[in-house]
A = this chain, B = another copy of it.
Amino acid sequence: MTTASPEPNTNAAIPDAATQVDIYRRMSLISQNDEAARKTVKSGRLMMPYYSPKGQEVIPSAVSVNLNDDDRICTIYRGTHDMLAKGVPLRDLWAEMAGRVTGTCKGKGGPMHVTHPASGAILTTGIVGSSMPIANGLAWAAKLSGSKRVTIAYFGDAASNIGAFHESLNLASVWKLPVVFICQNNLFGEHTRFENATSVDQISKRAAGYSMPGVTVDGNDPFKMYAAAHAAINRARDGDGPTLIEAMTFRFYGHVFGDDDHYMTKEEKAAALAKDPLPIFRARLIADGVATDAQLTELDADIRAQIEDAIQFALSSEMPPIEELTRDVYAEAGAA
């Protein structure tokens, strides 16, 4: 973990055995869910823009085990991993991706706008950078109400170059808000390489410009990611203000489903894929005696069944009734 911050995290927290398995469970859920989603889109059974998070599953998994249900996350179009890790139910998520009335948002938001307050998934935005200003507001509310809620703002590396990033980090610092900014640096913004768009080699270095701790961490290492998140979340919960975490990772399937990866070399892609965090962590859990292969196999199978169930549920659900078109524009039904 590189530190570009005024307050380095020295006492790295270590997840206990149960927590490690919990992180694995979330990773497996994300990874299997992604496979199912890509398959469903490819087969034409789902029509949606799909931004695969495969490769980034460690980040929200290791973050979320540090969160309570009522802690908030604000995520982005590439957000199914963040949502699932935070507890958005599979059925509701799939139904939303399928545009069904049984979805989190009655099918009106779609995959880019999944919202599920019960699990703390308050916002999914399709606008680069816009998770951050709103996360501040949620954190402000928590602070005002005296609750100990923490808010996580997820965003990508390329989002660190847009104005909202800057305004948000500055305000969070000045107002000492209980928010954690988690940049999932997957080395690309659409087809543009990180280093061709971003004028600093580590986004965490920008934290110093806001007098905020900033760390760059291996976002594919569950232990390092857990420790960084643990420190930042505790800091926020204790009223000590925001942190910027840059979690280094990689997206396995390009920007959006259908992307042909022309902008990267075969070698770099192969190298990244060879480091798939899921099997690596799985092997480690077994090697460390934290879980047996059989246990994890059962867990994986359980998840697979749940995903299958969710897909069936979604695809057999109704489309929203046509009256929904003009509902929810305002509190009372349909103005104009």
Contact = CB atoms under 8 A, between A and B. Distances in A.
A198 B169 CA distance: 10
How many chain copies does the complex carry?
2
Interface residues of A, number: 24
Interface in A193-209: 196-201, 205-206, 208-209
Interface in A119-178: 161-167, 169-170, 173-174
Contacts of A201: 211
A25 B170 CA distance: 39
Contacts of A210: 199-200
Interface string A222-264: 0000000000000000000000000000000000000000000
A4 to B, nearest CB: 9
A212 interface: yes
A38 to B, nearest CB: 33
Contact of A162 (B162, B167, B198, B199): B167
A174 B199 contact: yes
Given A200-B209, A206-B209, A209-B209, 6 more contacts: A161-B167, A166-B167, A169-B199, A174-B198, A200-B208, A200-B210
